[in-house]
Amino acid sequence: MINNIVRIKDIAKKAGVSTGTVDRVIHDRGRVSKKVKEDVLKILEEMNYEPNLMARALGSHKVYLLAALIPNPLTDSFWEAPKSGIEKAEKDLKQYGIVVKQYIFNPYDVNSFIEKANEVSEDNVDGIILSPIFYRQSLLFFEKWKNQNIPFVLFNTQIAEYDPLSYIGQDSFQSGCLAGKLLQYGLPDPCSVLIAHIDEEISNAAHLITKEQGFRNYFTKNKLDKKYTILRIELNRCTQKVFNKRLDEIISNTPDLAGIFVTTSKAHVIAKYLEDKKISNIKIIGYDLISENIHYLNNGSISFLINQNPKGQGFWGIHHLADYLVFKKKVPGLKYLPLDIVTKENLSYYVEEGNNLADLNVSG
């Protein structure tokens, strides 16, 4: 029966028994002689029979409450995409009893995260999807959810220490290496390049630290660290005047600055600053196809964007929880999404395909 679906009637025919007998053996109910049971079980194993888990889920009438602990997209538009992916997955899986409750927190307020994470812990949920952008605080809840036997899936930020059910997103280290390679193309030799972290507490943002490590590793591994001076800055837009002043100082004190790597979706902020200052000789690499970044990619201010497929991260996170809870499947611990390099020339292939949902399907 290779490459074919094995049906109960196929098993019954080979065993020389009724389909009802096979059904009783599979579900371990009713009276079946020991010899018949052994024969049927042997044939089930030989034919690699798997029960129709989807049909079983449809008939179970059980509701699975999943918690989506996600940052507020009204505060940072990047989070609209994973939120949309989560909602699409919920719609796809609703027939199997999947219900997703969203717990929205302020990505710039750790107390907001703690408050919502506590609500998740108290609400007797069956599974959790979250982006653990506050590293230290997330670890405390991981411990609690482990003790409660609640499976949790991480997206966007990978933290392996507490053995989540799954992580979905990019390999942050490799994305940093890729950013280094992209930025280095066409730069004068020697020159300075800048790593810019914007609106983040870096000591508590594991994925951004890992991106920076990957970026630096590219230059070290390729023996380029003698040719290029790598600078680093942490910027906060709470006060625009201070933000601009810090960039003014960098530009003024680094006349050979030729490239900037923005580790988040905020590349457009640097692009606008340079545009306002009428500076056009600094190359920018950043992340994510949010509308502000797309604008500056189209006008040439941003050279490359690395697409992290945030909508896919949310979508697959819910599917992994459903596979584990509903369909009793083994879920891969890692699902790394491709490192898509987006330029002005190929942008239309991404934005015209349903805003990065083109490659989503339940078999991927």
Spatial neighbors of 281 by CB under 8 A, at least 6 apart, are 258
Q: Among 263, 292, 307, give the residue marking a domain's end.
A: 307
User: Which of 32, 50, 68 finishes a domain?
Assistant: 50
What is the residue range of 151's domain? 59-169+310-337
Phi, psi of 2 (to 5 degrees): -60, 135
Residue 3 predicted with pLDDT over 60: no
Residue 292 lies in a domain: yes
Domain assignment present for 357:
no
Question: Residue 176: is it exposed, middle or buried by C-beta count within 10 angstroms (0-12/13-18/19+)?
Answer: buried
The least confident of 10-14, 136-140, 276-280 is: 10-14
Question: What is the per-residue pLDDT across 300-339, written as a single tens digit (0 to 9) for each?
Answer: 999 999 999 999 999 999 999 999 999 999 999 999 999 9
CATH number of the domain at 284, please.
3.40.50.2300
Report yes or no on 348 lying in a domain.
Answer: no
Same domain, 303 and 179: yes
Vertex 103 angle, CA 98 and 106, to 5°: 150
188/143 same-domain check:
no
Task: With 0.95 as the threshold, say if the pTM is over it.
Answer: no
What six digits make up the tokens of 259?
A: 């490239």
What whole-number distance in Å separates Cα of residue 37 and Cα of residue 31?
10
Does 43 share its domain with 96? Answer: no
Please report which helix (H) or strand (E) contains residue 120, including its range.
helix 110-122
Model pLDDT, residue 53: 59
Residue 345 in domain: no
Please name the residue that has the structure tokens 């100082």: 249
CB 285, CB 267: distance < 8 Å: yes
N-term to C-term CA, the chain: 24
Residue 325, C-beta contacts closer than 8 angstroms, at least 6 positions apart: 64, 126, 127, 151
Question: pLDDT band at residue 60, thresholds of 50, 70 and 90?
Answer: low
> What is the structure's pLDDT at 139?
95
Claim to verify: residue 300 and residue 323 sit in the same structural domain: no
